[in-house]
Homo-oligomer: A and B are copies of this chain.
Amino acid sequence: MDASEFRRRGKEMVDYVADYMEGIEGRQVYPDVEPGYLRPLIPTTAPQEPDTFEDIINDVEKIIMPGAASPACTELETVMMDWLGKMLQLPEAFLAGNAGEGGGVIQGSASEATLVALLAARTKVTRRLQAASPGLTQATIMEKLVAYSSDQAHSSVERAGLIGGVKLKAIPSDGKFAMRASALQEALERDKAAGLIPFFVVATLGTTSCCSFDNLLEVGPICIKEDVWLHIDAAYAGSAFICPEFRPLLNGVEFADSFNFNPHKWLLVNFDCSAMWVKKRTDLTGAFKLDPVYLKHSHQDSGLITDYRHWQLPLGRRFRSLKMWFVFRMYGIKGLQAYIRKHVQLSHEFESLVQQDPRFEICAEVTLGLVCFRLKGSNKLTEALLERINNAKKIHLVPCHLRDKFVLRFAICSRTVESAHVQLAWEHIRGLATELLKAEKE
């Protein structure tokens, strides 16, 4: 949607809201629909080609408004998470469908998803151990619980461990910054021998620093064998898996208990919208369920409905699935795939520009929209370049450390980015590098 269509549609929406407010007394306080009403009204998958805006807005009045905030908010979320799960070719077990044991939920951020998964895993292992040895206290168990992630995992994983009150150990990644079987197995054996209890592994697909991928096909079977909860954090990279050519990066997801990525990062859905799936919804609800009278309702034991308040940390919820519904329909799957592909192509364009300049080096494999690069030589040199880049305020780069190297990260992430912007940014960086190297020589 370009700016001129945005003006038109935006103003129509303002009128829609105003009309709603003016006519609100004519609407029913409580909806007539029954739980489960929404799914049959909506296709089972996202459209390949874009729908028109008229079609979408007509469906809001026809499908959403009769379901009011509840149950429409919950039911659209379940169906949209199924749509998205199918776009990613997630295993059937992660989908809610009509009677599945799994399903998806929108969280606010990947940090929350990791924490929710860790807490659910903590409850599950605690109950299992207490069932086997009824005398065990929760504290005795918690003292021995260990969670694992790669040394490249996001800091929010460490934070989840802190909050959950359990140890978190970093598994040394390999030369391509990936967690592999041998390092994980070694840590598990050492900890079990020391009387500790491994219970949770976070595998990262697309690390923050360099977009590296843990080896799911190696890590997954270990988690199955050891009866350890496997959570996959694909916060950034997950969006790319809607393209068949990137889907192999997700192979091994079938070994996971929970999977999460952020459509708000790279799938054109505005912040916040973090998509999380679990294979067994009772693992989440078992950890968080409390049912006071003022939150009871007549349908809660019917199996027809989903009480998302048991799937998350906050109690209140927003109608975030509307954003997904609009975006998926306005772009169509093909439009979203084209968007991802364009970004990946632009990052390879930047990569090849860097490679053509012998003063620079690429520091990690470029798979998606992130290029890690640096000036050859000391870290001080690249640090000085970053200072010049960020002081010039024409582009903004965020650095990282890869082992002992200080590295710049060039990320393709704007909705409107074009090749011209990439070229301009590179010319700018090159120019500043030339100035810097000249100044260094003097």
Question: Which positions in A face B, CB cutoff 8 Å?
Answer: 3-4, 6-7, 10-11, 13-15, 17-18, 21-22, 24, 28-30, 32, 108-112, 115, 119, 122, 137-140, 142-143, 154-156, 158-159, 162-165, 208-209, 264, 271-272, 287-288, 290-295, 313-316, 318, 390, 393-396, 398-401, 409, 416
Contacts and interface: CB of A to CB of B under 8 A. Distances in A.
Given A6-B21, A399-B294, A314 B29 contact: no
Nearest to A31: B393
Q: Which 8 A-B pairs have the closest CB atoms?
A: A139-B143, A10-B14, A109-B314, A30-B393, A155-B292, A3-B18, A109-B316, A155-B290
Contacts of A165: 122, 138-139, 142, 164-165
Nearest to A29: B396
A158 B290 contact: yes
Contacts of A32: 393
Contacts of A21: 3, 6
A17 B390 CA distance: 26
Contacts of A271: 316, 318
Contacts of A110: 315
A315 B264 CA distance: 13
Contacts of A400: 293-294
Contacts of A4: 18
A30 B164 contact: no
B7 A15 contact: yes
B10 A17 contact: yes
A318 B119 CA distance: 25
Contacts of A163: 119, 163, 288, 313
A313 B29 contact: no
B395 A29 contact: yes
A76 B194 CA distance: 50
A302 B18 CA distance: 46
Best-surrounded residue of A4, A264, A315 (most CB of chain B within 10 A): A315
A229 B400 CA distance: 38
A170 to B, nearest CB: 12
SS class, residues of chain A in contact with chain B: helix
Given A22-B3, A293-B401, A294-B399, A156 B393 contact: no
Contact of A6 (B18, B287, B394): B18
A319 to B, nearest CB: 10
A142 B165 CA distance: 9
Contacts of A122: 165
Nearest to A142: B139
A327 to B, nearest CB: 16
Contact of A143 (B13, B30, B137): B137
Contacts of A137: 143
Nearest to A14: B10
Nearest to A415: B21
A109 B315 contact: yes
A240 to B, nearest CB: 20
A272 B10 CA distance: 22
Nearest to A314: B109
A28 B7 CA distance: 24
A416 B23 CA distance: 12
A305 B112 CA distance: 24
Nearest to A290: B155
Given A159-B290, A271-B316, 5 more contacts: A6-B17, A109-B316, A112-B313, A158-B290, A294-B400
Best-surrounded residue of A112, A313, A401, A409 (most CB of chain B within 10 A): A313
A137 to B, nearest CB: 6
A288 B161 CA distance: 11
28 contacts: A3-B18, A3-B21, A3-B22, A7-B18, A10-B17, A10-B18, A11-B11, A11-B14, A24-B416, A29-B396, A111-B316, A112-B314, A138-B143, A139-B139, A139-B140, A139-B143, A155-B295, A156-B315, A159-B290, A162-B290, A163-B163, A163-B288, A163-B313, A164-B165, A264-B316, A272-B316, A293-B399, A294-B400
A270 B264 CA distance: 21
A137 B122 CA distance: 19
